[in-house]
């Protein structure tokens, strides 16, 4: 299975490129977002690709980022979403915008893509829930990181996780300010009986 193609960019247009690799030229269909990230013709380029057999030919779909390739794969697995529609989605929305729209169940954002009405957008969101976390992992906020460290420390000291999590949340809510992990543990242990 092809995963990526790296070579000289011979031709580019908003929807397709031609990349030469060791004397073999590959025609690769791309979303508009990939076109905007391409170097000038004649330069080297690396595209993450996915081949699809259509009738009597193999069609290569290419992306400048692995996240876009992964999102394309998740999209074409959905009911009623083929490669053409998946490419329109990735041309109309960045991977980040799409993941955020799914996370927030924002039907309006996804339905703005040509060929995706409200009903299809609702279905896409419904089927994509939980499938985008591995594509673009969300950075952990400082507060979430602090909470997790405090919970794990309290668990290591013998509390059950649910109890530790409840105590840590209570300490943070009552303090009303940012606390260091050590302060949360100290307050939690002082008030825990």
What are the per-10-residue average pLDDT scores of the chain (193 residues)? 93 96 96 91 96 92 94 93 94 90 90 90 89 64 72 84 84 76 82 53
- The structural domains of the chain, ordered by start, are 4-63 (2.40.50.140), 66-128 (1.10.150.20), 142-191 (1.10.8)
Q: Which stretches within the chain are classed as H helix?
A: 32-37, 66-76, 83-92, 95-103, 107-111, 118-128, 142-156, 161-175, 181-191
- pLDDT of amino acid 151: 83
Residue 104: CB atoms within 10 A of its CB come to 10
58 bridge partner residues: 53
- How many Å apart are CA 164 and CA 175, to the nearest integer? 16
- pLDDT of amino acid 180: 80
The one-character DSSP state at 42 is T
- pLDDT of amino acid 142: 61
- pLDDT of amino acid 193: 45
- How many Å apart are CA 143 and CA 92, to the nearest integer? 33
């Amino acid at each position: 299975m092809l995963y990526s193609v790296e070579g000289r960019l011979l031709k580019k247009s908003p929807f397709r490129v031609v990349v030469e690799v060791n004397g073999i030229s590959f025609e690769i269909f791309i979303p508009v977002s990939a076109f905007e990230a391409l170097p000038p013709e004649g330069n080297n380029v690396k595209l993450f690709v996915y081949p699809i057999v259509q009738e009597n030919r193999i069609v290569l779909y290419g992306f400048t980022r692995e996240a876009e390739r992964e999102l394309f794969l998740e999209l074409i697995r959905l009911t009623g979403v083929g490669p053409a529609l998946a490419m329109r989605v990735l041309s109309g929305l960045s991977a980040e915008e799409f993941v955020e729209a799914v996370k927030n169940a924002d039907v309006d954002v996804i339905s703005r893509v040509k060929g995706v009405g409200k009903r299809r957008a609702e279905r896409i969101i419904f089927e994509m829930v939980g499938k985008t976390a591995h594509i673009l992992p969300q950075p952990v906020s400082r507060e979430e990181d602090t909470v997790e460290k405090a919970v794990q420390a309290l668990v290591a000291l013998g509390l059950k996780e649910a109890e530790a999590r409840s105590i840590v949340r209570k300490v943070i809510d009552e303090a009303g300010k940012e606390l260091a992990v050590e302060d949360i543990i100290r307050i939690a242990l002082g008030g825990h009986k």
